[in-house]
């Protein structure tokens, strides 16, 4: 029998501290929305491996699809000996992604790689190099992903000069006093002071900022950004790595807006726990790079592709978009009911089941990260795994599987309420 504390000691010896960890609970097995640690203790999983498990741990259909693929082949490299299910998944995404007209897709392995590839495609298609992102954004830990990420601590500290030609504009958060007008004003000043808009290849944004705090792009900003892109020939990249696959109550977060991106990045819940990412975009853009310019040894691994087909089936068959709206509604209702007693709750928000609660000093919007983390730890003690997020670390986000059973969901709601009440006192 292994003990969490003993593995934790070994972990500290063996693993770089650069890989941050939010728990020291070592996983032994998992099923849908529940995980068990090496000591046999059960937890409800509201982290979902950071937004990967919208269809839950080990969904039977996903496991069945992967087992079937395991018995055929596990790797050939699509660039050497291609396979049909890769083509079929591209066809499916081309149909599903909310971009008008002919589309094409490529596969990669991680979210950061999807972002890298989207930027490469945008640069190649436009012949321009600059990229604009938003403060608070998270786009990955590779060099371009890191440069695009709008948060210095901990993502950029110590890693030296960032990729050139990347600019940040304040993300509008009304709650923290930044309006859409202010964001657009800074963008305008950027075009006057720093970069010719005709040199900008792309503007990248998350429809709902994930790591940044579950803040939705305001409708007015999305519309204005699309107009500015059209005016200057800039491409709009929607990073749907965290918002995708039914989380926001739609298959993609962009479906909550009436504008479309030119390119879209996907990862995480795309393959229900297997490493797979994708870029889908307008066909003529996707075809800009020459043969060999895109790809990778493991890009579009057959096991992950098989899993992804099953994930898309499950989202459809189990109507997970509707379910996300129901669960999100119940969670928000429960949190709203707490507000009368808990003046430290400064905001409850989010489309579909991309729900978050923000904590501040009582009666203000002044972020309280310590209180937020204390609530997370109290919930962990009670058997519920939660994640915080936000530029100020004062947001608890809920990334439960959308397939969670009602009894388990209700149990989690009770733990959330009890944890908040106990910590606030
Ligand atoms: N983009 C967004 C919006 C993300 O949330 C993340 C991961 N949190 C990434 C990119 C990077 O994905 P990965 O960790 O798979 O590289």
- 319-328 pLDDT tens trace: 999 999 999 9
The pLDDT of residue 363 = 87
Statement to judge: residues 313 and 325 lie in one domain: no
The pLDDT of residue 201 = 99
Q: What does the block give as tokens for 20?
A: 């941050």
Residue 33 has pLDDT above 90, yes or no: yes
User: Chain-wide mean pLDDT for the chain?
Assistant: 98
The pLDDT of residue 317 = 98
Q: What is the mean pLDDT of residues 60-65?
A: 98
Q: What percent of the chain has pLDDT over 70?
A: 100
The pLDDT of residue 334 = 98
The pLDDT of residue 425 = 84
Q: What is the atom index within ligand 1 of the atom nearest the CA of 140? A: 11
Residue 190 has pLDDT above 90, yes or no: yes
* 54, 111, 389, best to mutate for ligand 1 pocket (most atoms within 8 Å of CB): 111
The pLDDT of residue 78 = 96
CATH number, residue 248: 3.40.640.10
Statement to judge: residues 247 and 125 lie in one domain: yes
Q: Which of 255, 289, 317 represents a domain boundary (last residue)?
A: 317
Side-chain-facing half-sphere of 117: CA atoms under 13 Å? 28
Q: What is the mean pLDDT of residues 266-275?
A: 98
Statement to judge: residues 225 and 150 lie in one domain: yes
- Ligand 1 contact via 387 beta carbon (within 6 Å): no
Residue 1 has pLDDT above 90, yes or no: no
Statement to judge: residues 236 and 365 lie in one domain: no
Residue 278 has pLDDT above 90, yes or no: yes
Location of structure tokens 């790809």: 295
Location of structure tokens 């066909």: 283
Provide the domain count of the chain.
2
Statement to judge: residues 211 and 160 lie in one domain: yes
Q: Does ipTM exceed 0.95?
A: yes
CATH number, residue 334: 3.90.1150.10
The pLDDT of residue 308 = 98
The rounded Cα 74 to chain-centroid distance in angstroms is: 27
Statement to judge: residues 295 and 340 lie in one domain: no
* 22, 138, 217, best to mutate for ligand 1 pocket (most atoms within 8 Å of CB): 138
- Ligand 1 contact via 247 beta carbon (within 6 Å): no
The pLDDT of residue 200 = 98
Residue 124 has pLDDT above 90, yes or no: yes
User: Residue 60: which pLDDT band, with cuts at 50, 70 and 90?
Assistant: very high
- Model confidence pLDDT, tens digit, residues 205-231: 999 999 999 999 999 999 999 999 999
* 131, 136, 140, best to mutate for ligand 1 pocket (most atoms within 8 Å of CB): 140
- Ligand 1 contact via 206 beta carbon (within 6 Å): yes
Packing angle of the helix pair 84-96, 302-317 (nearest 10 deg) = 40
* Burial per residue of 32-68, b for 16 or more beta-carbon CB atoms within 10 angstroms, e otherwise: bbbbebbeeeebbbbbbbbbbbbbbbebebbeebbee
| Percent of the chain as helix, strand, coil, to the nearest 5 | 40, 20, 40
Location of structure tokens 């189990």: 318
Statement to judge: residues 293 and 334 lie in one domain: no
Whether 98 and 258 have beta carbons less than 8 Å apart is answered as no
Whether 62 and 399 have beta carbons less than 8 Å apart is answered as no
Residue 203 has pLDDT above 90, yes or no: yes
Statement to judge: residues 214 and 348 lie in one domain: no
363 vs 112: which has the higher pLDDT: 112
| Domain assignment of residue 16, given as a range | 4-58+319-424
- Ligand 1 contact via 110 beta carbon (within 6 Å): yes
Q: Which of 317, 351, 384 represents a domain boundary (last residue)?
A: 317
- Model confidence pLDDT, tens digit, residues 282-320: 999 999 999 999 999 999 999 999 999 999 999 999 999
Statement to judge: residues 259 and 281 lie in one domain: yes
Supply the DSSP string of 190-256, one letter for each residue: HHHHT--GGGEEEEEE-SEETTTTSEEPPHHHHHHHHHHHHHHTPEEEEE-TTTTTTTTSSSSGGGG
Statement to judge: residues 99 and 214 lie in one domain: yes
* Burial per residue of 183-198, b for 16 or more beta-carbon CB atoms within 10 angstroms, e otherwise: bbebbeebbeeebebe
Statement to judge: residues 179 and 281 lie in one domain: yes
Q: What is the mean pLDDT of residues 409-420?
A: 98
The pLDDT of residue 192 = 98
Residue 373 has pLDDT above 90, yes or no: yes
């Amino acid at each position: 029998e292994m003990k969490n504390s003993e593995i934790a000691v070994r972990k500290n010896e063996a693993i770089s501290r650069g890989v941050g960890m939010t728990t020291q609970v070592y996983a032994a097995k998992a099923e849908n929305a529940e995980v068990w640690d090496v000591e046999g203790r059960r937890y409800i999983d509201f982290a979902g491996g950071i937004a990967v498990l919208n269809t839950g741990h080990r969904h039977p259909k996903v496991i069945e699809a992967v087992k079937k693929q395991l018995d055929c082949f596990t790797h050939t490299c699509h660039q050497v000996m291609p396979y049909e299910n890769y083509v079929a998944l591209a066809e499916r995404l081309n149909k599903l992604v909310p971009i008008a007209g002919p589309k094409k897709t490529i596969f990669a392995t991680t979210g950061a790689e999807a972002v890298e590839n989207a930027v490469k495609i945008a640069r190649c298609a436009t012949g321009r190099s600059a990229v604009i992102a938003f403060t608070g954004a998270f786009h990955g830990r590779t060099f371009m992903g890191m440069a695009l990420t709008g948060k210095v601590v901990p993502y950029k500290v110590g890693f030296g000069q960032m990729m050139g030609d990347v600019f940040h504009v304040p993300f509008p958060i009304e709650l923290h006093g930044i309006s859409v007008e202010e964001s657009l004003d800074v963008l305008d000043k950027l075009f006057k002071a720093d970069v010719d808009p005709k040199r900008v290849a792309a503007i990248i944004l998350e429809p709902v900022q994930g790591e940044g705090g579950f803040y939705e792009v305001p409708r007015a900003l999305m519309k204005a950004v699309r107009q500015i892109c059209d005016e200057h020939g800039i491409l709009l990249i929607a990073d749907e790595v965290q918002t995708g696959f039914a989380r926001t109550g739609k298959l993609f977060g962009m479906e909550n807006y009436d504008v479309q991106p030119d390119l879209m990045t996907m990862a995480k819940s795309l393959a229900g726990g297997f490493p797979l990412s994708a870029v889908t975009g307008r066909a003529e853009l996707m075809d800009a790079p020459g043969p060999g310019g895109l790809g990778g040894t493991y890009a579009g691994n057959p096991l992950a592709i098989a899993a992804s087909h099953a994930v898309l089936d499950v989202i459809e068959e189990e109507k997970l978009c509707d379910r996300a709206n129901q669960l999100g509604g119940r969670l928000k209702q429960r949190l709203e009911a707490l507000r009368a007693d808990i003046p430290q709750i400064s905001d409850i928000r989010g489309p579909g089941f991309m729900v978050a609660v923000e904590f501040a000093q009582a009666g203000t919007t002044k972020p309280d990260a310590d209180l937020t983390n204390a609530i997370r730890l109290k919930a962990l003690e009670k058997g519920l795994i939660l994640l915080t997020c936000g530029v100020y670390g004062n947001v608890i986000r809920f990334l439960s599987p959308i397939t969670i059973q009602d009894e388990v969901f209700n149990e989690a709601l009770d733990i959330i309420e009890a944890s908040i009440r106990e910590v606030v006192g």
